[in-house]
Chains A and B, each alone.
Chain A
Amino acid sequence: MSLPTAPGRETAIRVRAIEKSYPQKDRTDLPVLRGVDLDVARGSIVALLGSNGAGKTTLVRILSTLLAADAGTASVNGFDVATQAADVRESISLTGQFAAVDEILTGRENLVLIARLRHLPDPGRVADDLLARFRLTEAGGRRAGTWSGGMRRRLDIAMSLIGDPSVIVLDEPTTGLDPQARLEVWQTVRTLAEDGTTVLLTTQYLDEADQLADRIAILHEGRVVADGTPAELKALLPPATVEYVERQPSLEDVFLALVGGTTPTTTPTSDPEDDR
């Protein structure tokens, strides 16, 4: 399937001075984004790091045309999100914060539905390929509502890949997952980037950004307050703080060793049955 193209698109996502406020009950506006600038290079993984309420979800909703910005511009693959929304929707795929799968349909039916909505020629084959790729073939015939959280999340991401969108946005892809399921999602994201997909993911976990991202943008009080490679960002901080960050994976090591999972330093090879 050929994707729509626009000239001069080394930058997959370009955000300039985006502002967004939400009206409150007392009729004042609550500013959530106060002039955000962000560039995501083609084929890279960028993590948007921020605490709850920092405006991460607001930004990704604007990028996926679900929400209109009050001011500023944003483009995906060179297409403006406000004026070329249909082209943006062809280029980008959003995996929202809560696994948006149909729980009454089976896993395979979920994939076939999305393939039909993306107007692909052979929805059944697309679904079977993705089930195999995400090691969900065995569960594919059961209702998604009976699946574990980690499996549902993988299905959710698989649904986002249908039609080979060149840009994938993952909004807090591992929030609420257990450590093993989290590693599986990480591995999926890495594979995506190796295949040339641009990935923008939001997270509130420092180690997740550290593990996955080529660049990290820190969103705080509606602005990007820091933007750089993990090494560049760590250089900004005193060593003692860096040491604290490094202790967190080691606690995970202990947990995983106790429950017999894999460690974050090795490639997870766990069986899909593991995370039930």
Chain B
Amino acid sequence: MSRSFLGDTAALTGRSLTHVLRSPDTIVTTAVTPLALMLLFVYVFGGAIRTGTESYVTYLLPGILLITVASGVAYTAYRLFLDLQGGILERFRSMPIARSSVLWAHVLTSLVANLVSVAVVVLVALLLGFRSGAGVLAWLAVAGVVALFTLALTWLAVVAGLSARTVDGASAFSYPLIFLPFISSAFVPTETMPGPVRWFAEHQPVTSIVDAIRDLLAEQPVGTDVWVALAWCVGILLVAWAAAMSAYRRRVS
């Protein structure tokens, strides 16, 4: 398997990265919504929010990064759906290639495209006054958490792309994902929320991931947050991957 799996995946990843490069608007559109939210929260709402930190943009950035990824993975569902519709997936499957390489190519493309969008958002945040004294290792850890989160959500996007009946349906799954950070510690500390909402906010994946990234960037000890965050990412990744594989088998036979 391995040699042809790697070669086939590389060839197909090259194909879908070309798609991204030829429609750079996918990277721009991915970054626009989170950037607008960042501007809105920093310059409109931010002044009224008490986070206990000096700079609100620094407090806000981790959540914005997750929103960037959540809106970016919708394109994976969209591209996969178009492949299914157009018949090109059928062509690939009738050829002697490693079968799962078709899906892995879309997943790796999503990883690259989302990390570029995330980098764009970080650069804009620096212009807005975001500062971090974090060292190389801490930044690498942040990149690792974001990459793992991207992989987890991308496999969810694969499930959506394979199960959708219409183009709109293929990307609709991402709206709840984009909304989830609002009921978390991403924008405001959870302490001000009423009981049940606070309980939900503190026990959903976004809060632990946001807190872990925030602590890494603030050079704070990450404590158990980072392990809870990793457990969530790996858990979602495995469940979504299994669901995607089963959806793939169901859809294509």
* Overall SS of chain A's interface: loop
B95 touches A100 (CB 8 A): no
A94 touches B11 (CB 8 A): no
B88 touches A117 (CB 8 A): no
A21 at the interface (CB under 8 A from B): no
A66 touches B90 (CB 8 A): yes
Cβ distance A179 to chain B, nearest Cβ, rounded Å: 24
Which A-chain residue is minimally distant from B4 (CB atoms)? A119
| Cross-interface CB contact of B11 among A86, A92, A97, A117, cutoff 8 Å | A117
Q: Known contacts being A94-B94, A98-B87, A117-B95, is A68 close to B253, with CB within 8 Å?
A: yes
Q: Bound complex: CA of A86 vs CA of B95, how far in Å?
A: 8
Cβ distance B18 to chain A, nearest Cβ, rounded Å: 6
B15 touches A113 (CB 8 A): yes
Q: Bound complex: CA of A97 vs CA of B90, how far in Å?
A: 11
CB contacts (< 8 Å) of A98 on chain B: these are 86-87
A105 at the interface (CB under 8 A from B): yes
CB contacts (< 8 Å) of A86 on chain B: these are 96
The contact string, 1 if C-beta is below 8 Å from chain A, for chain B 89-122, is 0111111110000000000000000000000000
B8 touches A117 (CB 8 A): yes
B11 touches A96 (CB 8 A): no
Which A-chain residue is minimally distant from B21 (CB atoms)? A104
The contact string, 1 if C-beta is below 8 Å from chain B, for chain A 63-75, is 0111110000000
Q: Bound complex: CA of A118 vs CA of B91, how far in Å?
A: 12
A109 at the interface (CB under 8 A from B): yes
A89 at the interface (CB under 8 A from B): yes
B87 touches A117 (CB 8 A): no
A159 touches B253 (CB 8 A): no
| Cross-interface CB contact of B22 among A67, A68, A101, A104, cutoff 8 Å | A104
Which B-chain residue is minimally distant from A63 (CB atoms)? B94
Which A-chain residue is minimally distant from B88 (CB atoms)? A100
The contact string, 1 if C-beta is below 8 Å from chain A, for chain B 16-48, is 001100110000000000000000000000000
Q: Bound complex: CA of A117 vs CA of B94, how far in Å?
A: 11
B135 at the interface (CB under 8 A from A): no
From 206 to 246 in chain A, residues with beta carbon under 8 angstroms from any chain B beta carbon are: none
Most buried by B among A66, A97, A143: A66
Number of B residues, CB within 8 Å of A: 24
| Cross-interface CB contact of B96 among A67, A90, A109, cutoff 8 Å | A90
Cβ distance B250 to chain A, nearest Cβ, rounded Å: 13
Which B-chain residue is minimally distant from A102 (CB atoms)? B88
B19 touches A104 (CB 8 A): yes
Q: Known contacts being A96-B90, A104-B18, is A89 close to B95, with CB within 8 Å?
A: yes
A190 at the interface (CB under 8 A from B): no
Which A-chain residue is minimally distant from B91 (CB atoms)? A100
Cβ distance A80 to chain B, nearest Cβ, rounded Å: 15
B93 touches A66 (CB 8 A): yes
Cβ distance A13 to chain B, nearest Cβ, rounded Å: 15
Q: Known contacts being A66-B93, A90-B96, A101-B88, is A116 close to B11, with CB within 8 Å?
A: yes
B94 touches A65 (CB 8 A): yes
B144 at the interface (CB under 8 A from A): no
Q: Bound complex: CA of A104 vs CA of B15, how far in Å?
A: 9
Which 9 A-B pairs give the minimum distances between C-beta atoms? A100-B87, A116-B11, A89-B96, A100-B91, A64-B94, A94-B94, A100-B88, A98-B87, A90-B96
Q: Which A positions have Cβ atoms within 8 angstroms of B?
A: 64-68, 86, 89-90, 92-94, 96-105, 109, 113-114, 116-119, 143, 159
16 inter-chain pairs at a CB distance below 8 angstroms, sorted by A residue, are A66-B252, A67-B253, A68-B253, A89-B95, A94-B91, A96-B91, A98-B86, A101-B88, A104-B22, A104-B23, A109-B18, A117-B8, A117-B11, A117-B12, A117-B92, A143-B22
